[in-house]
Homo-oligomer: A and B are copies of this chain.
């Protein structure tokens, strides 16, 4: 085997993995799974595709070893297969957010449509004692991992549970990441009810990777 053949084969192999990343639905699935394991049905529901389609995308991801699965009763739980998958997704996402004008524009419009919540970075606030971290993702995602000093109130329970929140602190909400709107929705709700609130720039994925480095 010649040098050239080795190289071709190596780059070809990487391109194979990379192809698993180059589909919008699969990227959304990866982004979702970065927040904890999910069943096929949950994934299909949250990404608005059919169950059959979700299953097939998951198969593709599994073949490339980006996700793994385990069975529990009649459910099959899918999750990301290791930190390197998260890092790669984060790198691609950040690259796109910096380099792709259409992604930047859409994101900008998205945020405006959600009320343009003020955002702040974790690095700057994590030892600030006059803020209160609020995780507004579904409870199971909170259970799968969260900021150590955060409280959980899923955004759909927020209207009925505002009494649990301090009025003398700034509420800092966070959710899955830059493409997740839960934190923005929460901020809008909170501000409408007289709280001082903003959202974290980072999502759970970023916070996880931060804490590992």
- A28 touching B6, Cβ below 8 Å: no
Interface-located stretch among A13-21, A34-42, A139-147: A13-21
Q: Please name 7 pairs of A and B residues whose Cβ atoms are closer than 8 Å in the assembled complex, sorted by A.
A: A1-B109, A8-B24, A10-B179, A11-B28, A15-B23, A84-B98, A85-B95
Please name the residue on chain B nearest to A9 by beta carbon.
B106
Instruction: Give the distance in Å from the alpha carbon of A6 to the alpha carbon of B114 in the complex.
Output: 11
Residues from 102 to 141 in A contacting B, C-beta threshold 8 Å = 102-103, 106-107, 109-110, 113
- A84, B88: Cβ atoms under 8 Å? no
Given contacts A17-B103, A21-B21, 9 further A-B contacts (CB under 8 A): A3-B181, A17-B92, A18-B22, A64-B99, A65-B99, A65-B100, A66-B99, A84-B94, A87-B95
Interface assignment of A93: CB less than 8 Å from any CB of chain B:
yes
Say whether A96 faces chain B, with CB atoms less than 8 Å apart.
yes
A212 lies within 8 A of chain B by Cβ: no
How far does the Cβ of A8 sit from chain B's closest Cβ, in whole Å? 6
Q: Check B82 against A98 for contact (C-beta < 8 Å).
A: yes
Contacts of A1 in B (CB 8 A): 109, 113
A90: which B residues are within 8 A, CB to CB? 91
| Bound complex: CA A156 to CA B48 (Å) | 57
Assess whether A100 is in contact with B22, with CB atoms less than 8 Å apart: no
Question: Which chain B residue shows the least CB distance to A6?
Answer: B110
| A48 partner residues in chain B, CB cutoff 8 A | 4
Q: Which residues of B contact A102 (CB under 8 A)?
A: 9, 13, 16
Q: Are B113 and A99 in contact (CB under 8 A)?
A: no
Q: Do the beta carbons of B93 and A91 come within 8 Å of each other?
A: no
Which residues of B sit under 8 angstroms from A27, Cβ to Cβ? Answer: 11, 14-15, 18
B99 lies within 8 A of A81 (CB) = yes
> Are B82 and A99 in contact, CB atoms less than 8 angstroms apart?
yes
Indicate if A25 sits at the interface (CB-CB under 8 A): yes
A7 at the interface (CB under 8 A from B): yes
A63 to chain B, nearest CB (A): 11
Q: How far is the CA of A100 from the CA of B94 in the complex (A)?
A: 24
**A92 and B82 form a contact (CB under 8 A):** no
